[in-house]
């Protein structure tokens, strides 16, 4: 009995030992490769790296990281623009743009009307028939007043171009000062525009007045004035370039007696600024890109006309001047410029002030305010 008990006890101890050994052994996964005694056991790294940024926040790019903030520009849309061009110096700067438009090289769809009738141009820009038009500068001021601000100054393009011609066959020598015109008659074109107001002011500054001391025979058109030169019946004729050159080709007895720009500079402050372009405000407000493109092309046209050797041929080709030879000879005396934006008001306001003091109606009753100047 004692032996059986001892045997059972030993068997129980052996079983307990085996169970304890199994509990301490790690379990093997079915897919794990058998250990052949040479493999190295790798312990997976379950640690996480520390970060200053809380999880889930957006990543901030470095300062030098390029950011694409460009926006796509809207394509330029050409506008239909009716443009009035005056024959003579005021229109000469437009010649290259007119030629480019004929060849399909212009940005906008331009329809040009060439004329010498300033009164008709003024009426049609006031009515809105022309969106852009060339005018004498005082006529531009009058149009601004008549439309209560609906016509604006777009560009200044011509400085002083007036000259007094004298038929030297009368007494053989030209006059040298304006006060020598007492009792004389002058044939001219431009009543109600710059020529009349300039002549009147200059005569008054020299102690003379139209109608009392000097007679002015105003003609209805420039062609009518030029026609009188053929007969030689008039001793004194006031003309702007390039008509001065045309006149002296028609009758060589006439010569330049006085440059009225020089006479102006003797008695007035500021330059003579006689020619300009105007724009309808409603059109400009609705088509700013088209107006900007026009100004860009117009400036390029004037640059060509004032610098290129072929300019005279282009001007004559557009019939702004009757012949290439006349355009070539007249160009240096036409004083063509291109002033826009903020450059316009300081350039012309002294001239407007002189005209206003002499005759308020010459500029529409008052000197134009800042709103008159497009882009100023």
Hey, what are 102's tokens?
């004929």
Query: What per-residue confidence (pLDDT) applies to 331?
Result: 96
Residue 70 pLDDT class (50, 70, 90 cuts): low
pLDDT digits (tens, 9 = 90+) for 267-299: 998 889 999 999 999 999 999 999 999 999 999
Residue 301's alpha-carbon distances to 99, 337, 338, in angstroms, are: 10, 11, 10
Share of the chain above pLDDT 70, in %: 80
Q: How far apart are CA 330 and CA 246, in angstroms?
A: 9
**Token pair of 60 as six digits:** 């901030």
Q: Residue 107's beta-bridge partner residues?
A: none
* pLDDT for the residue numbered 69: 56
Please check whether residue 95 is in contact with residue 327, taking contact to mean a CB–CB distance below 8 angstroms.
no
- Per the omega criterion (within 30 degrees of 0), is the bond before 242 cis? yes
> Residues 6 or more apart from 179 whose CB is under 8 A from it?
206, 207, 208
- Classify burial at 286, counting beta carbons within 10 Å of its beta carbon; exposed 0-12, middle 13-18, buried 19 or more: exposed
- The distance in angstroms from the start CA to the end CA of the chain is 130
**Domains of the chain with CATH codes:** 80-159+273-372 (3.40.190.10), 162-170+177-267 (3.40.190.10)
CB atoms within 10 A of CB 150: 15
Query: CB 216: neighbour CB atoms within 10 A?
Result: 21
């Amino acid at each position: 009995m004692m032996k059986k008990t001892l045997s059972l006890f030993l068997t129980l101890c052996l079983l307990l030992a085996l169970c304890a050994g199994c509990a301490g052994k790690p379990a093997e996964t079915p897919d794990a490769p058998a250990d052949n005694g040479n493999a190295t056991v790798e312990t997976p790294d379950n640690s996480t790296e520390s970060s200053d940024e809380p999880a889930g926040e957006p990543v901030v790019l470095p300062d030098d990281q390029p950011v694409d903030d460009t926006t796509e520009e809207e394509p330029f849309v050409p506008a239909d623009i009716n443009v009035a061009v005056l024959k003579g110096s005021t229109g000469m700067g437009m010649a290259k743009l007119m030629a480019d438009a004929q060849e399909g090289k212009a940005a906008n769809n331009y329809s040009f009307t060439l004329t010498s009738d300033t009164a008709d141009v003024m009426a049609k820009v006031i009515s809105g028939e022309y969106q852009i038009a060339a005018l004498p500068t005082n006529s531009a001021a009058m149009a601004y007043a008549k439309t209560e601000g609906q016509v604006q100054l777009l560009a200044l393009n011509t400085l002083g171009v007036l000259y007094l011609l004298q038929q030297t066959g009368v007494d053989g020598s030209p006059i040298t000062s304006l006060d020598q015109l007492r009792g004389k008659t002058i044939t001219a074109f431009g009543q109600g525009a710059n020529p009349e107001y300039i002549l009147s002011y200059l005569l008054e500054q020299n102690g003379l007045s139209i109608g009392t001391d000097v007679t002015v025979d105003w003609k209805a058109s420039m062609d009518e004035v030029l026609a009188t030169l053929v007969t030689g019946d008039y001793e004194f004729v006031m003309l702007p370039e390039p008509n001065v050159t045309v006149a002296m080709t028609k009758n060589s007895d006439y010569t330049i007696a006085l440059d009225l720009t020089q006479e102006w500079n003797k008695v007035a402050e500021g330059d003579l600024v006689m020619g300009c372009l105007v724009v309808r405000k409603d059109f400009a407000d609705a088509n700013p890109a088209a107006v900007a493109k026009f100004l860009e092309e117009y400036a390029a046209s004037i640059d060509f006309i004032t610098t290129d050797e072929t300019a005279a041929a282009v001007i004559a080709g557009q019939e702004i001047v009757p012949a290439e030879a006349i355009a070539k000879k007249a160009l240096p005396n036409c004083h063509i410029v291109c002033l826009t934006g903020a450059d316009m008001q300081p350039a012309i306001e002294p001239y407007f002030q002189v005209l206003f003091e002499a005759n308020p109606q010459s500029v529409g009753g008052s000197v134009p305010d800042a709103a008159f100047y497009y882009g100023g």
